[in-house]
Structure 1
Amino acid sequence: MRATVYGALIIRPRIGRKYPFPKPYREVPIMIGEWWNANVMDVERIGMSTGGVPNIYDAYSINGLLGDLYPCSKKHTYKLKVTPGKTYLLRIINAALNSQHFFKIANHKFTVVAIDASYTEPYRTSIVVIAPGQTMDVLMETNKPMADYYMAARPHNSVAVAGPFSDDTITTGIVHYIGGPTKNSTAKMPILPALNDTATTHKFYTNLTGLTTSRFFVPVPRHPDEKMFITFGLGISVCGTPNGCINSPFRPMISFAASMNNHSFELPTSTSMLEAFANGVKGVYTEDFPDHPPLKFDYTKANLSSSLWMTEKSTRVKKVKFNSIVEIVLQNTALLTPENHPMHLHGFNFHVLAQGFGNYNSKKDMKKFNFFNPHERNTIAVPTGGWAVIRFRANNLGVWMMHCHLDVHMPLGLAMAFVVENGPTLSTRLPPPPADLPRC
């Protein structure tokens, strides 16, 4: 969907309630996307069937338009007309499939007031970083001289390496002050960070905190019932096509893969996992996803041994009790090639307790945990060579995926699922499906 038709779903306060920040003059969705010249279904099919990865995009876009830095796209540039002296609420959404993005507007500053639909302590910044699947609300004051100003988005990769996610192009839009000059040639261009500017990214993410004065602020749940240490990254697996992977960069019967705790996730093909859980159907998944990786090693070391690359395909889930508190250390690895991973959890918001670089060390890094005002998210960008610690309360019944939001990584197997058991009361038990639910 994100490669074809998409749009913004905006949640506003109920009638009679206000935002916990000054009322904006106007709200404007800003959606960062990707564009392929080829049919996107063919791109994915060919990439997966040959044992490699799909071709990357041909261009990025802002609100569906490519901007005037690509060939033949000058007439396809998004223009935001603003009234001087006002405050605008920009609802920024990264609908791109495979890249985090820096986003900036020349000569303007933002005040971040919400991320992933959770209010934040106002954070003043001239640039934001947003990963695929993330959303962000920022205030922008139109208090600059009457002119045109470029808005621009550039991809971010933690390391500048050759590979499927290393392309570096910029998509643009125009902020036009009503009453100012109209020629785009006079527009001022923002200075964007380098593709691999991890310092800027880390500073931005770690300066975000939750708004404790909001009626919706949820304190950090204490005393976790479940503690998990999950490593993830790229790898290889036995090719699933009968004739092998003819264009595989590895041996003919070996294909690209991705895994969590060395298990490369396979979606079931006959029965949905939620249906299997509700009806007690056996053989659809197993409840033995491990709490720790099978082997300890120097996770972030460059040029790791190829003996660590092979993954095991499975449909394993982690079963947790209703209302239990789950803490997860998300440890990125340098297996096969280093890459950042935006990890998305369905069904829940989680608190981000801490994040950092290197191999997670519980004795040292637990001292960094923020229990006072951590921000809540549903997608956390874990950088190359780094880790993040999240915590959530499992109070939503059913089967919930956790996966990398880089679209190419999901079919490669960088995913797992949680099964939240029924609770003790009727209201905390999974209801039956509606009578008219279509069968798969």
Structure 2
Amino acid sequence: MAPSSLFAVGLVLAFCYLTSFTASADIVETSFHVKNLTANRLCQEQVIMAVNGSLPGPTLRVKEGDTVIVHVFNKSPYNLTIHWHGVFQRLTQWADGPEFVTQCPIRPGGNYTYRFNLTGQEGTLWWHAHSQWLRATVHGALIIRPRDGQKYPFVKPFLEDTIMLGEWWNADPNDVENAALATGAAPVNADAYTVNGWPGDTYNFCPSNKTYRLDVVPGQTYLVRIINAALNTQFFFKIANHNFTVVAVDAAYTNPFQTDVVLVGPGQTTDVLLTANQSPGLYYMAASPYDSGIGIPFNANITTGILAYQNTTQTTPTLPVMPAFNDTPTAFTFSTNLTALVTSRFWSPVPRTVDENMFITFGLGLSACGSNQTCGGIFQQRMAASMNNNSFVLPTRMSLLEAYFRNVSGVYTTDFPDQPPMVFDYTNVSNSFNQSLLMTPKVTSLKKIKFNSTVQIVLQNTALVSVENHPMHLHGFNFYVLAQGFGNYDPINDTRKFNFVNPQERNTLGVPTGGWAVIRFRADNPGVWFIHCHLEVHLPWGLGTAFLVENGGTPESTLPPPPADFPQC
């Protein structure tokens, strides 16, 4: 059967499958206009890129099963793509969005329409630019509520609210990135952190500064959706004198978990129930950085919003006591106490047979300084990052997905290694500046996987250059987090720690600083799927690769052709 006929049959089957479950589904259609916006923060006007004139950008509110259509008009001076973070994109792989992975960018003055379905997903996701550092200001929430006739698997909240944590530069973030890439050195840190686009009033007073405010009614319970849209900062989040019940992470329901602090890394989302059960007053909600890197400079400020009780007469908010910036025990306790709600209608048991076993070391390193270059990295080389000592380079003449679909050679290879090229004491800081371990080649190497294979990956941090907690994000799938720990992974003893009963599901995981994590997923979604560190500083340095999941031999498991308006390089 011809590919076009196969695709047509696939669409019919997919339509029949979806309509059997989506009697209450809708089409949600909107437009994103990305263009200059002059914003005033920290007593300074700065031109930023923004969607529809707002920071954060518009929230997309949909129901599970809905189809989303977003017309993106790029009126900015930069190349642009939009990624729908956490969306599976089944039969809509061309809408995933990472630049030169699934698509060429939308050029200035161009447009592209993203179309995708949200069947089988419920909770808090988000969208953001996936080109250079544009996601610093080009981002917004994607809220997926239960379809008509369905309910949350927890008490119905009185109201819902969304908290987007971010970063602010008194500069164009793309200029910040480009200045660093020009020398191979690390970029400068953000000037402020933000809550829903505002630094809050704990920064130096400025008439143009605003503080986000959430008004609450005493005794009522609120569903608060926390999204970390920052480029390079993981956050501890607290509200003074209040506790949370975590009920979901990355749009996957969890068993209720009581805590007074939430850790949320870049790309992650956390849904919590908050009961307004304190004395009427003003309480700061605060986000402070979790600085997992040893010896790496960071901005130690905090950002705040205000939780305000109805009819309060208090004028000065109460500030919570925040964890120390390097409080890894608190970060690890939060991350490892989350478990899946297996009674959720979206839960599937962990596949027990593994087809692909991978052990991936990852972290920072160096690439060689080219001739006629001025390099500001360690040992006068260029800063780099790698997975299994492969430092990933994106193509520029065609996206990886299009090259795969059209069978174009010379764009990528499929020899990404299942094991690191050298065994050493990965988390021993005495190896941090061992030049024989630091140097990494620049390649565009993918891992090819057969459709419906079960893939297990040991993600092993290294101590090269620095020990850090890296938030690793996988496109196109959720994965089960079977276990996490510190030091070097022990294949004999650590296997006994695997949780096959109710492991948390995520699309983004902060692998413990100086440690490891084991994840597992079923590769039942054909296409090319990026896996990368969601610290934006590490992505252009090469901390990523991609999984090429082959077609499955049926119309509904076959990559469809690109849409007619697909951007061209």
Common topology (TM > 0.5): yes
CA gap of 1:43–1:295, structure 2 versus 1, over 3 A, is: same
1:1-12 to 2 correspondences below 5 Å:
1-12=134-145
Deviation >4 Å, runs of 4+: none
Letter in 2 for 1:64: G
Q: Secondary structure at the match of 2:540?
A: helix
Counterpart residue number, 2:480: 351
Counterpart residue number, 2:429: 302
Q: In structure 2, how many angstroms separate the alpha carbons of the residues matched to 1:153 and 1:435?
A: 44
Q: How many residues are treated as equivalent by the alignment?
A: 433
Residue 16 (str. 1) matches residue 149 (str. 2): yes
Q: Residue 117 of structure 1 is aligned with which of 251, 272, 288?
A: 251
Give the C-alpha shift of residue 115 in structure 1. 0.2
Q: In structure 1, how many angstroms separate the alpha carbons of the residues matched to 2:375 and 2:255?
A: 52
Counterpart residue number, 1:267: 394
Q: In structure 1, how many angstroms separate the alpha carbons of the residues matched to 2:336 and 2:186?
A: 32
Give the C-alpha shift of residue 299 in structure 1. 0.3
Counterpart residue number, 1:38: 171
Residue 421 (str. 1) matches residue 553 (str. 2): no
Counterpart residue number, 1:150: 284
Residue 244 (str. 1) matches residue 373 (str. 2): yes
Q: Residue 231 of structure 2 is aligned with which of 97, 106, 117?
A: 97
Letter in 1 for 2:335: Y
Residue 72 (str. 1) matches residue 213 (str. 2): no
Question: Structure 1 length as normaliser, TM-score?
Answer: 0.96
CA gap of 1:122–1:73, structure 2 versus 1, over 3 A, is: farther
Q: Secondary structure at the match of 2:236?
A: strand
Counterpart residue number, 1:57: 190
Q: In structure 1, how many angstroms separate the alpha carbons of the residues matched to 2:377 and 2:548?
A: 35
Q: Deviations over 1:368-392 (max 9, x none)?
A: 0000000100001012210000000
Q: In structure 2, how many angstroms separate the alpha carbons of the residues matched to 1:236 and 1:288?
A: 21
Q: In structure 1, how many angstroms separate the alpha carbons of the residues matched to 2:206 and 2:469?
A: 30
Q: In structure 2, how many angstroms separate the alpha carbons of the residues matched to 1:286 and 1:173?
A: 48
Counterpart residue number, 1:172: 304
Residue 224 (str. 1) matches residue 354 (str. 2): yes
Counterpart residue number, 1:430: 559
Give the C-alpha shift of residue 157 in structure 1. 1.9
Q: In structure 2, how many angstroms separate the alpha carbons of the residues matched to 1:268 and 1:112?
A: 40
Give the C-alpha shift of residue 273 in structure 1. 0.3
**Partners of 2:376 and 2:382 within 8 A in 1:** no
Q: Deviations over 1:382-412 (max 9, x none)?
A: 1221000000000111000100000010000
Give the C-alpha shift of residue 307 in structure 1. 1.6
Give the C-alpha shift of residue 188 in structure 1. 1.1
**Partners of 1:176 and 1:182 within 8 A in 2:** no
Q: Secondary structure at the match of 2:379?
A: coil
Give the C-alpha shift of residue 339 in structure 1. 1.5
Q: In structure 1, how many angstroms separate the alpha carbons of the residues matched to 2:401 and 2:139?
A: 26
Letter in 2 for 1:179: N
Residue 256 (str. 1) matches residue 256 (str. 2): no
Give the C-alpha shift of residue 303 in structure 1. 2.4
CA RMSD between the two structures: 1.2
Q: In structure 2, how many angstroms separate the alpha carbons of the residues matched to 1:394 and 1:137?
A: 27
Q: Residue 293 of structure 1 is aligned with which of 420, 423, 434?
A: 420
Residue 370 (str. 1) matches residue 499 (str. 2): yes
Counterpart residue number, 2:76: none
CA gap of 1:300–1:249, structure 2 versus 1, over 3 A, is: closer
CA gap of 1:71–1:397, structure 2 versus 1, over 3 A, is: same
Q: In structure 2, how many angstroms separate the alpha carbons of the residues matched to 1:26 and 1:68?
A: 25
Letter in 2 for 1:300: T
Letter in 2 for 1:43: V
**Partners of 2:185 and 2:375 within 8 A in 1:** no
> Where in structure 2 are there 5+ consecutive unaligned residues?
1-133
Q: Deviations over 1:326-361 (max 9, x none)?
A: 000000000012111000000000000000000000
**Partners of 2:360 and 2:420 within 8 A in 1:** yes
1:314-325 to 2 correspondences below 5 Å:
314-325=443-454
More displaced 10-residue stretch of structure 1: 319-328 or 37-46 = 37-46
Q: In structure 1, how many angstroms separate the alpha carbons of the residues matched to 2:467 and 2:553?
A: 44
Q: Secondary structure at the match of 1:410?
A: coil
Q: Secondary structure at the match of 1:303?
A: helix
Letter in 1 for 2:336: T
Give the C-alpha shift of residue 437 in structure 1. 2.1
Give the C-alpha shift of residue 250 in structure 1. 2.7
Q: In structure 2, how many angstroms separate the alpha carbons of the residues matched to 1:37 and 1:437?
A: 34
Q: In structure 2, how many angstroms separate the alpha carbons of the residues matched to 1:408 and 1:158?
A: 15
Letter in 2 for 1:336: V
**Partners of 2:369 and 2:375 within 8 A in 1:** no
Q: Secondary structure at the match of 1:387?
A: strand
CA gap of 1:430–1:414, structure 2 versus 1, over 3 A, is: same
Q: Secondary structure at the match of 1:412?
A: coil
